[in-house]
Each structure stands twice: as C-alpha cells, then as structure tokens.
Amino acid sequence: MRIESDVKLDYSDVLLRPKRSTLTSRSEVDLEREFSFYHSPKIWKGVPIIASNMLSSGTFEMARVLSTYKIITAFHKFYSLEDFQKFFQQPIDPNFICYTTGIREEDMEKFRALLKAGLLAKFTFISLDVPNGYIEKFRGVLKEVRKMCPEHVLIAGNVVTNEMTEELILSGADIVKVGIGPGSVCTTRKMTGVGYPQLSAVIECADAAHGIANHQGGGLIIADGGQQYPSCIIKAFCGGADFNMAGSLFSGFEESAGKVVEKNGKKFKEYFGLSSNKVLKDLYGTKAEHRAAEGRYTLIPLKGSLHYFLQDLFGSLRSTGTYIGARKLKEFPKRATFIRVTHQLTTYLEKYEAE
C-alpha cells in the first residue's frame, strides 16, 4: 500500500484567470481544429466535441443534427448491423460519426460482420469502450482491431494515468479516452473506490500522449465525463484535452433519445449509465452474479431544442477565448492559468447555479 499526497483537482476546484486580450469580438475565436494521428493516415478537421455513446446521446438522430455543427457522435453499442444498413441509406459525413464496440466475443462478432459488410468503411472513428482500460485483454483486442482497421482513427479507453495512456497509444490507439467515474450517472467511485480527479487526469494524460509522436502526428486524448457545465468542457481544453466527450450535456433535449416522463406537471427524459441495473437487465438480459451495477438511473428536465444549447456552448467557448486572449481553440492550453478555489466557494457557486 502507498499513498500519493500530491494535490489532484476536479473541474470545480479551479477557475481561469483573465488576461489582457487583443480580441475585439467573440466571433474572432476559431473553434475548429485539425488533427493528424499517430497511427491513422487520416486528417480530421472539425469542432473537437463528441456526444458520448450513452443511449440518450449516441443516436442516429443526434448524429444528423450534430454533424451539421461538425461535432462527432459516438454511437451506442446496441445498434444492429441492420440498423446501420438503414442509417447509411441517407448520406452523412463520415468524419463526424464513430462506431463503438466493447471487447466481449459477441461485440467482436458484430464488429467483424460490419467490417465484412463494408459498413465500417463508412466511419472515420472506431471506439473501443470499456470501463476498465487496464485489463490485459483490452490491449490485446486493441492490437487486433488496429491490424484489421489500419486506416481508421482508433479511440481506446477508459484510463486515467499517464503510463497507461502511453501503453494504449503504443498498442494501436490514436486517441485515449480519459476518465473513470466522473460521469453524472457513473457510480464507479462510490461502488469501487477507484477513480482520479478529472482535471488532473486530463492534464497528466495529455502530457503523456503529446509526448508520443512520429512523422504523421502525435498521441491525443479525450476528456470523457464529468462536464456539468460548458465551463467544464472549457477547463478540459485548457488542461490539454484534444477532444471532449459528454453524455448528460447532450441528453434531455427534444432531439435526444429517452422516454419522456411527467412528474408534478413537469416533463423529464430518462438518463442512465451503461453499467446501471436498467441497462444490464433490459439490454444485456441479465446482471451477472459476479458484478455490481456501477451506474444509476435518473431523470433530466426536458431542455428544449439542442440547437439553442449548441449556440450557448459555442458562445461560451468563444467568450473564454476573449477572456484569456486565445484566438484559436488550440491556443487555450497555452493561454490558460488555473486558479485553485476553496471548496466553500465551489459549493456556493453550484448551489447558486442550481437555483
């Protein structure tokens, strides 16, 4: 047993220090980025935000909307081959959709079937998604998928430490997904005691990934989960995240999936973790005796149109750029200075914003 005593931070533990800026308008801040990759020969350009593969946000309907904003949608794991065949009957930009798979044998059988049918060729991104990216089998599957799909941009995770970030990149990942337990419906930290404060995880894993580079490009990371507000996405970018992935922020809208529930005259949409009892029983058929649920079920107030949220999200990002003097999103880490704040202040701010 050992104890690490270094301070580790979540998004709520910091604010950004304003700096002298020469920008005269939010419209001057460029939110698009262009990336090349360590393994894949592809070049990608867009707004580096991803709607996660949650059942409420990782849907075909969301992809149709978000692709027009140059935002990526990571599809959830429960679409069938036939579902994808129907989806691709209408054209969509492959740069803004991501196929998600687990590493169970049934996941890989479906993966091989889509590959054989030519459907995976319609994606730029493939995400290998497991809650625990530290198991040996995960790296083995990653290496296998890299051999089968040498042209694709491969995403792998989740992990929260620098050494495993490096290991996954060297094993075939172009982008590593960072985050264990920060999501609003994830209970991994409560159930297992495992996790890592998300902002510190992003900073440390970004440093590790960016240190691996070749003639094509360098390793990249996604900050996955824990974004309660647009400011959390901003802080992740300032901490060095190349991409941001969020589930709850893209849930509860008219365009989001989920059953509408009415309580006390107010409308809500269902939202639940992929390791919740609801998913384990309803979609996997059963919860194995050897495992515990590490996700929860909740209701999100119906938010209205997704388009208004995206306008606010983009506006928030651009506003931060004017505060810290960054004309481009890629400049955010260079311009950012974090200020640690007290727990009492963050609690007050969260209570105030909730009201």
Enumerate residues 6+ apart whose C-beta is below 8 A from 87.
60, 79
CA end-to-end span of the chain, whole Å? 43
**Helical packing angle, 136-148 and 105-116, nearest 10°:** 10
Helix and strand numbers, DSSP H then E, in the chain: 12, 15
> Which position among 186, 205, 232, 238 bears the catalytic label?
186
CA distance 62 to 161: 31
Helices (H), the chain: 60-66, 81-87, 105-116, 136-148, 162-170, 188-192, 198-210, 230-238, 277-282, 306-324, 332-335, 343-354
Distances (CA, A) of 296 to 55, 67, 102, 183: 13, 29, 20, 10
Q: Is 186 a catalytic residue?
A: yes
343: which 2 tokens? 């727990």
C-beta neighbour count of 261 within 10 angstroms: 13
Instruction: Give the active site residues.
Output: 186
